[in-house]
Amino acid sequence: MALVYCTAACSPSSDEAAPPPVERTDAPARPAALNADTKLVMAFGDSLYAGYGVKQDESFPAQLEKALGAKGLKVTVHNAGVSGDTTAAGLQRLAFALDGLPRKPDLVLLGLGGNDMLRGISPDQTRSNMEAMLKELQKRDIDVVLTGMIAAPNLGQDYAGRFNPIFTDLAKTYDADLYPFFLDSVITDPGLMLPDGVHPNPQGIAKVVSGISDLVAAELEG
Give the active site residue among 85, 116, 199, 213.
199
- Any idea how long the chain is? 222
Q: Catalytic annotation on 177?
A: no
Distances (CA, A) of 34 to 37, 40, 76, 210: 8, 8, 8, 25
C-beta of residue 155 within 8 angstroms of C-beta of residue 117: yes
Q: Alpha helix locations (H) across 20-79? A: 47-50, 60-70
Q: Catalytic annotation on 199?
A: yes
Q: Which of 123, 119, 122 minimizes the C-alpha distance to 164?
A: 123
Three-point CA angle 189, 77, 111, nearest 5°: 50
Give the active site residue among 122, 196, 210, 214.
196
Give the active site residue among 47, 59, 83, 213.
47
Q: Catalytic annotation on 47?
A: yes
C-beta of residue 78 within 8 angstroms of C-beta of residue 15: no
Three-point CA angle 157, 193, 113, nearest 5°: 45
Active site residues: 47, 196, 199
